[in-house]
């Protein structure tokens, strides 16, 4: 059975691990990053008006703020998988990026009437958006730091998956060289892998965890 290293932050029953098992693979969950919530930002999110926009661009952000979001808060997300997750947690998703990326989301928000205030609780690695015509409050919701992962996981794995450029940097800064074939969730992650000398890369057709698992299933490395 193909053993797949899951580098993203999740548990043994996390979403990517479940997708891999459905495809007949054996996930090895060994995260390479760790997140630390900023409680002050959670308090800011809890104080928003339902007429304000709350922009959430990662599953971690969605899960973190869900318990404190006020009823009927207007939520904007990047993709359908994020929308499905947010809705499953009772959040009121009113806007999904038409281009499945942040650029399209900001442009769509600029067209909304009434616009209201925009709060974008972001990771410490995300850049501060500067969009003409939009006043965006973007406090750091969580810090992202490299995790001292078990280096022996490389010997137990046949393939490694990456769902962020920060995960690529965490792994390659520690290993220096990666011999395992890699599966990337999207172009920016693939670029980070190529820049660090990883020769064998599969890229998911869509930026979803399901598509990451499908890339391994449907194409031989």
Q: Which pLDDT value is given to residue 130?
A: 78
CB-CB contact of 185 with 206 (8 Å): no
Q: Where are the domains of the chain?
A: 3-32+147-182+197-218, 38-142
Can you tell me the mean pLDDT for 179-207? Answer: 92
Q: Helix 15-22 to helix 209-218 angle, to the nearest 10 degrees?
A: 30
Integer Cα distance of 133 and 67 in angstroms: 31
10 pLDDT exceeds 60?
yes
Residue 211 parent element (H or E):
helix 209-218
Instruction: Quote the mean pLDDT of the chain.
Output: 92
Q: Which has the higher per-residue pLDDT, 114 or 38?
A: 38
Integer Cα distance of 127 and 69 in angstroms: 23
Of residues 197, 207, 201, 145, the one with CA closest to residue 176: 197
Kindly tell me the sign of the dihedral angle through the C-alpha atoms of 89, 134, 100, 192: negative
Q: Against a cut of 0.85, is the pTM above it?
A: no
Q: Which pLDDT value is given to residue 220?
A: 54
Three state DSSP letters for 6-43: ECCCCCCCCHHHHHHHHCCCEEEECCCEEEEECHHHHH
Q: What does the pLDDT look like over 131-168, one tens digit per residue?
A: 877 889 999 999 999 999 999 999 999 999 999 999 99
Sheet holding 140-146, edge to edge: 33-37, 140-146, 122-123
CATH topology of domain 38-142: Rossmann fold (3.40.50)
CA dist 12 → 22, 24, 62, 72, 213 (Å)? 14, 15, 20, 32, 15
- Domain 3-32+147-182+197-218 shares a fold with domain 38-142: yes
CA dist 181 → 85, 123, 158, 161, 187 (Å)? 29, 28, 7, 9, 16
Q: What does the pLDDT look like over 50-101, one tens digit per residue?
A: 999 999 998 899 999 999 999 999 999 998 888 999 999 999 999 999 987 8
CATH class, range 3-32+147-182+197-218: alpha beta
User: And the tokens for 154?
Assistant: 């490389």
Q: What does the pLDDT look like over 107-136, one tens digit per residue?
A: 899 888 777 899 999 999 888 887 877 889
């Amino acid at each position: 059975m193909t053993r797949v290293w899951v580098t993203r932050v999740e548990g043994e029953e996390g979403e990517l691990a479940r997708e891999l098992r459905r495809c007949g693979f054996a996930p090895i969950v060994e995260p390479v990053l760790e997140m630390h919530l900023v409680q002050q930002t959670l308090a800011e999110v809890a104080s928003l008006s339902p007429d304000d926009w709350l922009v959430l661009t990662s599953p971690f952000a969605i899960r973190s703020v869900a318990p404190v979001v006020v009823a009927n808060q207007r939520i904007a997300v990047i993709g359908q998988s994020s929308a499905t997750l947010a809705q499953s947690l009772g959040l009121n998703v009113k806007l999904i990026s038409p281009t499945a990326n942040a650029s399209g989301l900001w442009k769509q928000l600029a067209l909304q009437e009434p616009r209201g205030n925009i709060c974008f609780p972001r990771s410490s690695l995300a850049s501060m958006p500067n969009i003409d015509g939009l006043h965006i409050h973007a406090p750091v919701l969580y810090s992202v730091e490299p995790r001292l992962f078990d280096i022996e996981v490389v010997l137990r794995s046949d393939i490694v998956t990456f769902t962020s450029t920060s995960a690529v940097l965490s792994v390659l800064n520690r290993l220096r060289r990666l011999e395992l074939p890699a599966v990337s969730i999207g172009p920016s992650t693939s670029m980070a892998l190529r820049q660090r000398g990883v020769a064998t890369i599969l890229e998911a057709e869509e930026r979803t965890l399901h598509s990451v698992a499908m890339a391994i299933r449907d194409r031989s490395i």
